[in-house]
Amino acid sequence: MYPTELVKGVYWVGAIDYDIRNFHGYSYSTHNGTTYNAYLIVDEKIALVDAVMGPFAEEMFARISKIVDPLRIDYMISNHTEMDHSGAVPEVLRRVPKAKLICTAKAVDQLKKHYQNGWNIQTVKTGDEISLGKKTLRFYEAPMLHWPETMFTYYVEEEVLLPNDAFGQHYATADRFADQVDQYVLWREAEKYYANILWPLSRMVQRKIEEVIELGLPIKIIAPSHGLIWRENPLEIVTRYLSWAKGERTKDKVVIVWDTMWGSTTKLAHVIGEGVHSAGLEPVLRLIPHGDRADIMADLLDAKGILVGCSTMHNDILPTAAPIVSDFEMLKPAGKKCATFGSYGWAGGAIKKIQESMEKGNMDIVMEPFTVKWVPTEEELKKAYEFGKEFAEKVK
Ligand code: FEO
C-alpha cells in the first residue's frame, strides 16, 4: 500500500477498488472497477483532500503512514459529501480529533445528516484560502458538479486542481496517471462517466468551466477523485467536457438500439444500419438486452443521433427497453437528433412511449417513425434502408 507523489509534497493516498461492478445502486456498470482518490498535501501543515469510501479507510491510512504519521493531519478537506469520498471522513476525525474539517456551507448539513457528528468545521466559499505554511490551498464552489455542496480545491503554488468527481473515470489500474494507461479505455470511461453523471447538468458544467477559464488559473495537473490523474496536456479533458456540455456531435456515427419479440424489429434495425452506412456514417448497433444502459448512453454522448426501435407489447414498450427510455428522461441528452422504428401487430404503443420520453429529454425528433405491421416485406425492408439513409443525411 504505497502512495504516489504527483508533484513535490502532493501525494495520492487513495484506494483501488478492482472488484466493484455496479455504482450508484446498480445504475452504473463499472466494468473496469474504480478508484477512490484521496490526496495528502504536506507542507508545514498537512491537508488531506477528500477521503475514500468507508470500507477502504485502512488502505488510505496505510498509504498516508508511508509519508507521515496520520495524527499530523491538520485539515480534512471535503470537496464533496457523497459517501464514496466522505465515507472515511468520520474515521479520519475519530483518529485525528484536532483536524479541522473544511467544506462549503451547503456541505455542513449534508455531512451532519450523513454522519450525525459534532465536528470542528470551517466553511469556505469561492476565493477563500488556507495557508499550509509556505504554500496555499484555494477553494472554488462548484454547485451541481455534481451535488449542490461540491467545491474544487486548488493548490496554488504547484498549480494542481483537485476537482473531486469532475474529470474522473471509473477505471481501476495500478497506474495513477492518464498518460500511462490504455487510451481507448481511458477515454471510453471518461465519456461514460460524463454521459451517466454529468449529462443532465451540462449547462452548469459549461458555465463553471468557462468561469474557471476566465480566471486564467494555471493548471499543471488535474487530480480527480476517481480514476487516472491528468498531467500531460491536462486541459484536453476540460476541452472535451466543454464539447460534451455543448452537445457537440463530433463522431460520425449513429447509435441504433432496439429490442424485438420475434425478430421483425431486428430485421429493420440491421437494414436501417445499412442505410445509415450508405450515407457515410458508422451505424453502432446495440440489441438492448445484450448491452447495458450506461454503455449505450456513453455511445450516444457525441454521436450524430440515435434511432430507437421496439416492438409493441400490451400497447407499450418491451420491459427490456424501459431503462433506455427512462435514461432519456433522466439524463436529458438535449438536442440529440433522434427517430423511432419498430414492428407491431394491432397497435403501436411502443413508438408513442419512446417518443414521449424523447420529448421529455428535450431531444430533437427529426423524422416520423418507421413502422411495419407484423413481419416486414421485401418492399418494407427497402423502405427501412431508405429511412436509415435519410436519417443519416439529416443528422450529418
Ligand atoms: Fe464519486 Fe459524487 O461521488
Give the pLDDT confidence of 201-228 residue by residue, as tens digits: 999 999 999 998 998 999 999 999 999 9
Is cis: bond before 146, omega within 30 of 0? Answer: yes
Per-residue confidence (pLDDT) for residue 85, from 0 to 100: 98
Residue 241 C-alpha from the chain's centroid: 10
Indicate whether 116 pLDDT > 90: no
Contacting residues for 80 by C-beta, under 8 A, at least 6 apart: 50, 86, 107, 147, 149, 150, 151, 164, 165, 225
Cα–Cα distance between 323 and 335 in angstroms, integer? Answer: 20
State the distance from the centre of ligand 1 to the C-alpha of 292, rounded, in angstroms.
21
Q: How confident is the model at residue 118 (pLDDT cuts 50, 70, 90)?
A: confident
> How is residue 90 written as a grid cell?
468520520
In DSSP terms, 151 is beta-bridged to 141
Cβ of 165 below 6 Å from ligand 1: yes
In DSSP terms, 46 is beta-bridged to 42
Indicate whether 27 pLDDT > 90: no
State the distance from the centre of ligand 1 to the C-alpha of 283, rounded, in angstroms.
33
In DSSP terms, 49 is beta-bridged to 39, 77
- Ligand 1 atom nearest 225 alpha carbon: 1
Neighbours of 125 (CB within 10 A): 11
Q: Are 361 and 331 in contact (CB under 8 A)?
A: yes
Is CATH 3.60.15.10 the right assignment for the domain spanning 4-246? yes
Sketch the domain layout of the chain as residue ranges: 4-246, 255-395
Q: Are 339 and 370 in contact (CB under 8 A)?
A: yes
Per-residue confidence (pLDDT) for residue 24, from 0 to 100: 82
Whether the full predicted model's pTM is greater than 0.85, yes or no, is yes
Cβ of 17 below 6 Å from ligand 1: no
Q: Which residues are catalytic?
A: 24, 80, 82, 84, 146, 165, 193, 226
CATH superfamily of 255-395: Flavodoxin domain (3.40.50.360)
Q: Are 234 and 158 in contact (CB under 8 A)?
A: no
Q: Are 20 and 29 in contact (CB under 8 A)?
A: no
| Residue 134, helix vs strand vs coil | coil
3-state class percentages of the chain: helix first, strand second, coil last, to nearest 5:
40, 25, 40
Cβ of 170 below 6 Å from ligand 1: no
Measuring from atom 3 of ligand 1, which residue has the nearest CA? Answer: 82
> Residue 221 gets which letter from DSSP?
E
Looking at per-residue pLDDT, the higher value among 162 and 215 belongs to 162
Per-residue confidence (pLDDT) for residue 271, from 0 to 100: 98
Question: In the Cβ-directed half-sphere of 351, how many Cα atoms lie within 13 Å?
Answer: 20
